[in-house]
Structure 1
Amino acid sequence: MTAPTLGATVIVANHYQNENCHPDGKIKVGIGADSAWRWERLENAKRLFAGARGAAVPIVHVRLAVPADFKGVVANTDLIREWLKLGAWREGTWGVEFIDGLAPTADEYVVTHTRNSGFHNSTLEEVLFSLGARHLICCGVSTAYTVEATVRHATDIGYT
């Protein structure tokens, strides 16, 4: 197996959004508002982004957002039923904006999706193809949901 080269590597950054990162967001993911753990993890992401930008490694930001009226949202899991109950992830709200310090720069890509995998109902695959990506560094919030689903999907379609 050959080692990944930086030229073919892309960071896929999932859900660094107010809804689940900011203490005032609707998705608490079991983290207290004053939890040092929350801020440590976000600082780690800031360091990753700074290193990637310094090495000219592209970053693709994956954001979750659903129609503000939830029209077309299939509530087939407890997780999605909870979003609906909380009124979370609604397009056009503060919750779906990127948290301060982890927003994309003007030259970085942003894709929006509506389910767990960053590939589902998004242009992520097309963006990665246009960047010549072969190897992905996938990071984000909700590791057991969006990060895992995105990594599994990426592996299924040939990324390492």
Structure 2
Amino acid sequence: MSSPTPADALLLVNMQNSFCAPAGVMYAPFGPALQDIDEIIERCAEVVAFARAAHTPVIYFRQVFQPGYADYGPLEPHVQRLLVARGGLTAGTWDAAIVDGLKPADGDLVVDGNRRDAFYGTSLEILLRSMGVRHLALAGVATNSCVETTARSAAVRDYAVTVLADCTTSRSSGHRRLSLTTMSEYRIAGIATGGPTLFRD
């Protein structure tokens, strides 16, 4: 269902070369790539244009790690081994950068973190509070991982959240569908499609 009020900010999660570009380290490391990712990039670009036209802040969250991966943590050691072997998601590299077609413009904001939650250990909440954001629109990848984790984290901080269903995807259509259904039925987030109704002055 569409949100009844405009979003105060747009947050794009993990729209990085590593996940979204065929040469990316995390593009298809252990199975299928993110479904319909080229179309998702195009739809995200359209939504970014709507947000900018409405003077709505656009924020990019990047998952990045320090050289040497001292900040990686103990979980998923097989993923860490892959990242170490190929230099994936290292801060300052092409792999960690925002994918072509969604490059931040002057005035956009970029938040870096090293967990699936865009709030955890980052400046995101300070930015949102400082800008008076109460309603956050979410897009990005993957629906059932970093997007849902960030939506839950925003909800427990008392933000209204709208996930843009046509601007997010997963490696499995079933996982994407279940994630969107769960967020909607448990009132974690409203589910909408990106467009001018969500971003207006």
Q: TM-score, normalised by structure 1?
A: 0.87
Per-residue deviation, 1:51 = 0.8
Which string of whole-angstrom CA distances, capped at 9 and with x for unpartnered residues, describes residues 57-92 of structure 1?
11111111011100132122x3xx243122121112
SS at match of 2:10: strand
Moved more, 146-155 or 88-97: 88-97
Structure-2 change in CA distance of 1:39 and 1:5 (3 Å): closer
Paired residues for 1:59-78 under 5 Å: 59-76=58-75, 78=76
Identify unmatched segments of 5+ residues in structure 1: none
Alpha-carbon distance in 2 for matches of 1:142, 1:20: 9
Which consecutive aligned stretches of 4+ in structure 1 deviate over 2 angstroms post-superposition?
A: 2-6
In structure 1, how many angstroms separate the alpha carbons of the residues matched to 2:14 and 2:140?
Answer: 6
For the 8 Å contact 2:71–2:114, the answer to whether it is kept is: no
In structure 2, what is the equivalent of residue 4 of structure 1? 5
Q: Which runs of 5+ in 2 are unaligned?
A: 161-201
Distance 1:4 1:94 in 2: 37
* Local SS of the residue matching 1:144: helix
Please show how residues 3-152 of structure 1 align to structure 2 within 5 Å.
Answer: 3-6=4-7, 9-29=8-28, 30-31=32-33, 37-76=36-75, 78=76, 81-87=77-83, 88-152=88-152
Letter in 2 for 1:31: A
Q: Calculate the TM-score normalised by the size of structure 2.
A: 0.70
RMSD (Å), alpha carbons:
1.8
Take 2:116 and 2:24, find their aligned partners in 1: how far apart are those partners?
Answer: 18
Q: Find the aligned partners of 1:5 and 1:40 in 2 and give their Cα distance.
A: 24
Residue number in structure 1 paired with 2:194: none
Please give the per-residue CA displacement for 1:106-155, whole angstroms capped at 9, x wherever unaligned.
21111101101000111000011111100010111111111111100000
Distance in 2 between residues matched to 1:115 and 1:17, nearest whole Å:
14
Identity value in percent: 28
Matched residue pairs, number? 151
Instruction: Tell me how far 1:93 sits from its aligned partner.
Output: 1.6
